[in-house]
């Protein structure tokens, strides 16, 4: 009887497989035209539907928004005096150009002519001043707030903005880029944001969509797309189904398994997520206070095998707290500092006083599948050296309050990205006593190297060398079990071109166009 039931399942499975097989033979172009999705008229109306995995559920105010997903979308609406390009350089935006004084304390931004806000108002010095002052006062990004507290004076000079700092700050440009310029005396930013970017905000339907439209008064090159609808899918599987059905034109942050399961003939682009995924270890808790134990875990984990399992080998090993897009600082040699070596791991554990291994709880936020997948594999790999990791999935919000803020964890597997395009965005957090040093890393050598890197007395080359030294220290002391910068797959309607990957977590809609 059991066999018959089994056979029945198999028959049903095979049938479904056949159906799937037949489906592949149908011409791909029917995908977009036979649906009643809004995207079906896309080629004529130059509008696209983009699938995103989380709602823009925080404030849309540029200084209040916190979620990476919100910043990713609003990048198209807001601009600073300068903005990053896809190469990681800063290009003039609201400012026409910029110059830095030789002492590194005075920045001059001549304002561009004819920049208007989405509400039709012209952008003036008053707006820039207001933006900097408001941002300094209310921003939720503590590193931007810290950088702005260093501003001594902002004044108007020959139709430009001159900013004077109390002390030179090598990262000031990237901080300035995150001060979005908004119109003075407009108080609707939280729900109806107004900026100067190539797209203007049209509407937000909770958990349904966010609509942007081309801003025809944009000073720069006008985007080819007239309208971008971000459709929100709180469930990753539903997002995938919608993509596969042709309801969406563009979805980013897919995994290789999803991409390979896709059957709608979309083109696939591969980039990186620009984050450092690692098993972050709480140094305040035994046995992770022991460097030998941490090193043993590094040897026990086989990153290549993990990449093969979770991503068919896609993704870049990192080895320290820096991802490859930061070419200046990234050291690929560190990625192989701890080759997979079970015997060595066992020996180190024995030396540390744990010959029979130990057990710990690995807390992982459940909302992001790739971290859960990685953790699933790591748990199995650690068993080989006798270390039992108990996987505990928590909501992202619980993770934020308990693990990140409360530091109540043993080990956690997440990815850290850079909120600004600076080395310090990745490295400041490991300085002893830093508010964001969730693992409680304490190392005088590291602190000294980091302080030297930040010292304006050093040349840029010297600073870079010190930052690289920081990375080596993190790797040598096995601060965390560093894993990878995840591969970021983008599936895109074959008719669309011009997608650009950024070294930041943003998606630029202004470069996209239909062929």
Partner 1 sequence: MKTLFSKFAALIITLFLVSALAFFAFALIPADPATTMLGSEATPEAVAALRAQLGLDRPLPVRYFEWLKGFLRGDLGESYLYRMEVGQMLSGKLAVSALLTILSFLLTVALSIPLGVLAGSVRNRYFDAAAVGLNQLVMSVPPFFLGILACYGLGIVLKWFTPGAYVSPEKDFWGCVRYLIFPALSIAIPRSAMAVKLLRGSIRDQLGQDYVRTARSRGASETSILLRQVLRNALLPVITFLAVSLAEIMTMSILIEQVFSIPGVGQLLLSSVSNRDYPVVLAIVMLLAAWIVTIHFLADLLTRLADPRVRLG
Partner 2 sequence: MKQRISPMLLLGGGISLLTVCAALLGAFWTPYNPTAVSAGEKFCPPSLVHLLGTDNFGRDVFSRVLQGMGASLLIAACVVAIGCLLGTAIGCLCGYFGGPADFLLTRLCDVVTAFPSVLLALVVVSLAGRGTAQIILALGVLFIPSFARLVRGEAARYRDASFIQSARLMGVSHSRILLAHILPNLRGVLVPAIVIGFNNAILSEASMSFLGLGVQPPFPSLGSMLSDSQTYLQRAPWYAFSAGAAIALLILGFSLLGEGLQRRRRA
Q: Which does 236 bind (CB under 5 to 8 A by kind): partner 1, partner 2, none?
A: partner 2
- Taking the least distance from each CB to partner 1, the nearer of 84 and 386 is 84
Residues 6+ apart with CB under 8 A from 168: 103, 104, 105, 456
The SS3 assignment for 274 reads coil
Residue 363 is a binding residue for partner 1 (CB under 8 A): no
> Segment near partner 1 (CB under 8 A), from 29-37, 95-103, 313-321, 331-339?
29-37
Kindly provide the residue ranges of all beta strands, DSSP E only, lying in 335-480, ordered along the sequence.
Answer: 359-365, 388-394, 411-417
Q: Are 28 and 263 in contact (CB under 8 A)?
A: no
181, two tokens = 């310029």
Site for partner 2 in 391-410 (CB under 8 A): 391-395, 398
Residue 67 is a binding residue for partner 1 (CB under 8 A): yes
Q: Least CB distance from residue 61 to partner 1, whole Å? A: 9
- Taking the least distance from each CB to partner 1, the nearer of 24 and 461 is 24
Residue 400 is a binding residue for partner 1 (CB under 8 A): yes
> Segment near partner 1 (CB under 8 A), from 110-118, 142-150, 219-227, 285-293?
142-150
> Segment near partner 2 (CB under 8 A), from 82-90, 350-358, 388-396, 439-447?
388-396
> Segment near partner 1 (CB under 8 A), from 50-58, 150-158, 334-342, 493-501?
50-58
Among 7, 100, 137, 238, binds partner 1 (CB under 8 A): 238
Tell whether the torsion through CA atoms of 384, 390, 395 and 399 is positive or negative: negative
Residue 393 is a binding residue for partner 1 (CB under 8 A): no
Place of tokens 């958990």: 207
Region at 455 (left for phi over 0; alpha for psi -120 to 50; beta for the rest): beta
By DSSP bridging, strand 267-272 and strand 250-254 are unpaired
441 CB-side CA count, 13 A? 27
Residue 390 is a binding residue for partner 1 (CB under 8 A): no
Q: Which does 86 bind (CB under 5 to 8 A by kind): partner 2, partner 1, none?
A: none
Q: Which does 258 bind (CB under 5 to 8 A by kind): partner 1, partner 2, none?
A: partner 2
Q: Which of 133, 140, 206 is nearest to 163 (CA)?
A: 133
Task: Measure the CA–CA gap between 452 and 318, rounded to whole angstroms.
Answer: 23
Residue 268 is a binding residue for partner 1 (CB under 8 A): no
Per-position DSSP letters for 185-227, written without gaps between them: T---TTTS---SSSEEEEEEETTTEEEEEE-TT-SSPPPS-SE
Q: Least CB distance from residue 244 to partner 1, whole Å? A: 6
Residue 388 is a binding residue for partner 2 (CB under 8 A): no
HEC profile of 13-82? HHHHHHHHHHHHHCCCCHHHHCCCCHHHHHHHHCEEEEEECCCCCCCCCCCCCCCHHHHHHHCCCCCCCE
Residue 67 is a binding residue for partner 2 (CB under 8 A): no
Residue 12 is a binding residue for partner 2 (CB under 8 A): yes
Tell whether the torsion through CA atoms of 133, 138, 140 and 142 is positive or negative: positive
x/- map, 313-352, partner 2, by CB under 8 A: ----------------------------------------
Among 157, 260, 455, 462, binds partner 2 (CB under 8 A): 260
Task: Measure the CA–CA gap between 374 and 307, rounded to whole angstroms.
Answer: 8
Q: Are 293 and 349 in contact (CB under 8 A)?
A: yes
Residue 242 is a binding residue for partner 2 (CB under 8 A): no
Q: Are 42 and 48 in contact (CB under 8 A)?
A: yes
Q: Least CB distance from residue 30 to partner 1, whole Å? A: 8
Residue 268 is a binding residue for partner 2 (CB under 8 A): no
Q: Least CB distance from residue 396 to partner 1, whole Å? A: 7
Task: Measure the CA–CA gap between 321 and 305, rounded to whole angstroms.
Answer: 21
Task: Measure the CA–CA gap between 410 and 16, rounded to whole angstroms.
Answer: 44
Residue 9 is a binding residue for partner 2 (CB under 8 A): yes
Task: Measure the CA–CA gap between 90 and 506, rounded to whole angstroms.
Answer: 15
Residue 309 is a binding residue for partner 2 (CB under 8 A): yes
Backbone phi and psi for residue 338, each to the nearest 5 degrees, phi listed first = -120, 85
x/- map, 406-435, partner 1, by CB under 8 A: -------------x---------------x
Residue 97 is a binding residue for partner 1 (CB under 8 A): no
Q: Are 77 and 212 in contact (CB under 8 A)?
A: yes
CB atoms within 10 A of CB 133: 14
Q: Least CB distance from residue 238 to partner 1, whole Å? A: 4
Residue 372 is a binding residue for partner 1 (CB under 8 A): no
- Cis peptide leading into residue 487 (ω within 30°): no
Backbone phi and psi for residue 242, each to the nearest 5 degrees, phi listed first = -65, -40
- Taking the least distance from each CB to partner 2, the nearer of 162 and 391 is 391
Residue 192 is a binding residue for partner 1 (CB under 8 A): no
Residue 245 is a binding residue for partner 2 (CB under 8 A): no
Question: Which residues here bind partner 2, judged by CB under 8 A?
Answer: 1-2, 5-6, 9-10, 12-13, 16-17, 20, 23, 236-237, 240-241, 244, 257-258, 260-261, 263, 305, 308-309, 366, 372-373, 376-377, 379-380, 391-395, 398
Question: Which residues here bind partner 1, judged by CB under 8 A?
Answer: 19-20, 23, 30, 34-38, 51, 55, 57-59, 66-67, 140-143, 145, 190-191, 205-208, 231-235, 237-239, 241-248, 263, 395-398, 400-402, 404-405, 419, 435-436
């Amino acid at each position: 009887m059991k066999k018959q039931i089994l056979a029945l399942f198999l028959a049903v499975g095979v049938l479904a497989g056949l159906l799937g097989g037949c489906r592949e033979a149908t011409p791909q172009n029917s995908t977009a035209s036979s649906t009643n999705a809004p995207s079906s008229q896309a080629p004529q109306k130059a509008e696209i539907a983009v699938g995103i995995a989380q709602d823009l559920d925080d404030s849309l105010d540029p200084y209040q928004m916190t979620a990476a997903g919100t910043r990713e979308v609003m990048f198209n609406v807001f601009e600073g005096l300068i903005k990053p390009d896809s190469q990681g350089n800063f290009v003039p935006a609201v400012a026409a150009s910029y110059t830095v004084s030789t002492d590194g304390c005075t920045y001059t931004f001549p304002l561009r002519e004819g920049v208007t806000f989405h509400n039709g108002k012209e952008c003036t010095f008053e707006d820039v001043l207001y933006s900097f002052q408001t941002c300094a006062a209310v921003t939720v990004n503590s590193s931007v707030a810290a950088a702005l507290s260093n501003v001594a004076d902002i004044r108007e000079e020959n139709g430009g903005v001159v900013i004077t700092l109390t002390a030179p700050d090598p990262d000031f440009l990237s901080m300035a880029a995150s001060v979005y310029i908004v119109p003075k005396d407009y108080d609707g930013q939280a729900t109806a944001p107004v900026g100067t970017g190539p797209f203007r905000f049209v509407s937000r339907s909770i958990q349904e969509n966010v609509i942007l439209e081309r801003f025809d008064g944009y000073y720069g090159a006008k985007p080819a797309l007239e309208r971008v609808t971000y459709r929100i899918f709180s469930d990753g599987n539903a997002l995938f189904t919608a993509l596969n059905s042709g309801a969406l034109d563009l979805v980013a942050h897919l995994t290789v398994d999803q991409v390979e399961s896709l059957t709608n003939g979309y083109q696939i682009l591969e980039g990186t997520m620009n984050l450092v995924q690692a098993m972050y270890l709480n140094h305040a808790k035994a046995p992770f206070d022991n460097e030998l134990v941490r090193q043993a875990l590094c040897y026990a984990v086989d990153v290549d095998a993990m990449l093969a399992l979770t991503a068919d080998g896609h993704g870049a090993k990192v080895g320290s707290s820096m991802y490859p897009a930061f070419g200046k600082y990234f050291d690929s040699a560190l990625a192989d500092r701890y080759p997979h070596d079970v015997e060595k791991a066992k020996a180190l554990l024995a030396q540390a006083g744990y010959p029979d291994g130990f057990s710990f709880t690995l807390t992982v936020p459940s909302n992001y599948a790739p971290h859960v997948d990685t953790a699933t594999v790591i748990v199995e790999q650690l068993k080989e050296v006798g270390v039992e990791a108990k996987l505990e999935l928590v909501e992202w919000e619980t993770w934020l309050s308990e693990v990140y803020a409360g530091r109540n964890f043993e080990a956690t597997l997440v990815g850290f990205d850079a909120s600004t395009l600076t080395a310090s965005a990745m490295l400041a957090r490991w300085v002893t006593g830093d508010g964001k040093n969730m693992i409680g890393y304490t190392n005088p050598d590291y602190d000294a190297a980091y302080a030297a890197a930040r010292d304006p007395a050093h040349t840029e080359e010297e600073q870079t060398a010190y930052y690289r030294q920081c990375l080596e220290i993190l790797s040598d002391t096995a601060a965390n079990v560093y894993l990878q910068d995840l591969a970021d797959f983008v599936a895109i309607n074959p008719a669309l071109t011009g997608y650009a990957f950024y070294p930041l977590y943003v998606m630029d809609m202004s470069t996209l166009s239909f062929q």
